[in-house]
Amino acid sequence: MILEASTLYIKSEAVNEFESAFRSAYGIISKMRGYLGHELFKCVEQKDQYILLIRWSAIRDHSIGLRQSSEYTRWNELLQPYYASEPGVLHYIDIRIEGREYERERFNIQAAGEVE
């Protein structure tokens, strides 16, 4: 699995519109080959900064599958107007640490319980 991590700097006057646009754009990436899920986090201290984490089966699913698709053009059309600067994008691999899977399972169970 590859974790794509993007730092997004949004025009401060367009934060609410960006979040709405992202909800629409989600439908684009969620249908892409190799897409495993994503999370979008808003910074507490800097209200116009976000971290977007997208999990892919392989790096080529993002770098070729998404970026060279017509869907990527639509993704950019929806989100590009809100960027104050180009997003910084990096890719990461998971480093297995013994016992961490248990922590993930416990967190997921607790998080699911909080939603209900």
Query: CA–CA distance from 87 to each of 19, 51, 79, 90 (Å)?
Result: 15, 10, 11, 10
Three-class DSSP category at 112: helix
Residue in the block written with tokens 């590009």: 80
Residues 6+ apart with CB under 8 A from 78: 21, 22, 24, 25, 28
Within a 10 A sphere around the Cβ of 32, how many other Cβ atoms? 17
Task: Determine the pLDDT at residue 34.
Answer: 87
Query: CA–CA distance from 94 to each of 51, 57, 88 (Å)?
Result: 18, 12, 20
Sheet holding 35-42, edge to edge: 35-42, 49-56, 2-9, 88-93
Each residue's pLDDT tens digit, 102-116: 565 665 555 544 433
Each residue's pLDDT tens digit, 12-61: 999 999 999 999 898 888 888 888 999 999 999 999 999 999 998 888 88
pTM, full prediction = 0.78
Task: Give 70's pLDDT tier (boundaries 50, 70, 90).
Answer: confident
Set out the domains of the chain in order of their start, with CATH numbers: 2-115 (3.30.70.100)
Task: Determine the pLDDT at residue 116.
Answer: 36
